[in-house]
């Protein structure tokens, strides 16, 4: 009887006992496992999810978690469960399509892993033991991983295309983003979502109040008492929202308000140093990634939503 089957039996028995028998406190305290999801009749237990979390939870061994850490742990646990559900759906679909992974492919993957990490066979088996696995378990995992990747390649990646014309057009419209060592001297005003930042910006533009004074009076952001001064920042280090707000501004301009992590912000462009744009050929791969990433994420979500619509999925966490 393998460990997953034994855990499943225990969980099922606990469910039956709880229907007709009052568990003692001592026994109830020992109940640390339960079913947290069922995918087409196949169960995922809390134990399985927590196994995936070990790398994170080990750093808190012997310590009491703060409420914030507990909240973070709960979010991570739900994300991991979602991924485990998706993995089961992909495995089931690969099996339905009769995708086959040969023993040679699995063996090559295992040997490549050992070589990459400089492990002997004995060291490799020791590492597996620490994770509660043996070689057969690991080979099964590798086989399923290859099937999932093959399925995603056929159903998702190959259906996402980025053309040369699209990359060139993006480069032409965002040359500043690829400027070498372009820098900006900025000041920031950051206020909460309910503040009328539009009126404040209009007063600054009309010279009814200086940006420096406005920042000192109203900003909740860094450097508020110093007029919101952020100093000189490399353009490449700015987030997309910041770049969008600054794009097209001249020295001395104040940006339009924009959302910054749920708050409102405006920027004052004190000065800038313009760099030479990188050549298209040098940034072509980076542009492909920029355009490809949101499309692949959208296509992946659509594909997984389609699989879920045809499956019986019960999430209990």
Confidence class for position 14, pLDDT limits 50, 70, 90: very low
| Cβ atoms of 184 and 269 closer than 8 Å | yes
Where among 87, 104, 128 does a domain terminate?
A: 87
pLDDT in tens, 33-58: 799 999 999 999 998 898 888 777 77
**Is 23 among the domain residues?**
yes
Note the pTM of the prediction, 2 decimals.
0.56
| Rounded Cα gap, residues 177 and 173, in angstroms | 9
**Is 158 among the domain residues?**
no
Torsion angle in degrees (nearest 10) through CA of 242, 296, 316, 14: -130
Nearest one of 267, 262, 269 to 214, comparing CA atoms: 267
* Domain around 223: 181-273
**For residue 30, pLDDT beyond 50:** no
| Cβ atoms of 242 and 259 closer than 8 Å | no
Where among 37, 54, 87 does a domain terminate?
A: 87
pLDDT in tens, 257-269: 999 888 899 999 9
Q: How many domains does the chain have?
A: 2
Confidence class for position 274, pLDDT limits 50, 70, 90: confident
Here the CATH number for the domain that contains residue 248 is 3.10.50.40
**Is 82 among the domain residues?**
yes
Confidence class for position 106, pLDDT limits 50, 70, 90: very high
| Rounded Cα gap, residues 73 and 55, in angstroms | 12
**For residue 61, pLDDT beyond 90:** no
For the record, the structure tokens of 179 come out as: 């400027």
**Is 3 among the domain residues?**
yes
* More confidently predicted of 126 and 13: 126
**For residue 170, pLDDT beyond 50:** yes
**Is 235 among the domain residues?**
yes
**For residue 162, pLDDT beyond 60:** yes
Helix (H, G, I), strand (E, B) or coil at 267: strand
Report angle CA 287, 292, 295 to the nearest 5 degrees.
145
pLDDT value of residue 175: 83
**Is 151 among the domain residues?**
no
**For residue 217, pLDDT beyond 60:** yes
């Amino acid at each position: 009887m393998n460990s997953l089957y034994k855990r499943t039996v225990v969980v099922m028995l606990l469910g039956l006992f709880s229907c007709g028998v009052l568990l003692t406190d001592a026994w109830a305290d020992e109940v640390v496992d339960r079913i947290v999801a069922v995918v087409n009749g196949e169960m995922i237990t809390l134990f399985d999810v927590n196994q995936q979390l070990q790398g994170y939870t080990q750093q808190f061994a012997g310590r009491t978690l703060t409420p914030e850490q507990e909240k973070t742990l709960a979010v991570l646990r739900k994300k991991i469960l979602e991924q485990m559900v998706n993995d089961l759906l992909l495995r089931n679909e690969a099996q339905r399509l009769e995708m086959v992974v040969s023993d040679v492919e699995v063996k090559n993957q295992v040997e490549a892993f050992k070589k990459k990490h400089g492990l002997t066979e004995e060291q490799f088996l020791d590492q597996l033991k620490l994770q509660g696995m043996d070689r057969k378990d690991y080979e099964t995992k590798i086989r399923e991983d290859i099937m999932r990747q093959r399925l995603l390649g056929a159903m998702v990646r190959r259906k996402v295309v980025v053309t040369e014309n699209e990359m060139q057009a993006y480069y032409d419209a965002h040359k500043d983003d690829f400027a070498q060592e372009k820098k900006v001297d900025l000041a920031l005003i950051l206020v909460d979502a309910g503040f009328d930042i539009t009126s404040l910006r209009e007063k600054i533009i009309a010279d009814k109040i200086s940006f420096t004074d406005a920042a000192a009076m109203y900003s909740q952001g860094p450097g508020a008492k110093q007029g919101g001064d952020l100093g000189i920042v490399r353009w490449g280090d700015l987030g997309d929202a910041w770049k969008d707000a600054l794009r097209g501004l001249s020295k001395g301009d104040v940006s339009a308000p924009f959302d910054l992590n749920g708050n409102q912000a405006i920027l004052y462009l004190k000065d800038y140093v313009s760099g030479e744009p990188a050549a298209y050929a040098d940034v072509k791969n980076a542009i492909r990634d920029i355009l490809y990433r949101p499309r692949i994420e959208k296509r992946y979500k659509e594909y997984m939503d389609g699989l879920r619509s045809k499956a019986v999925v019960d999430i209990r966490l």
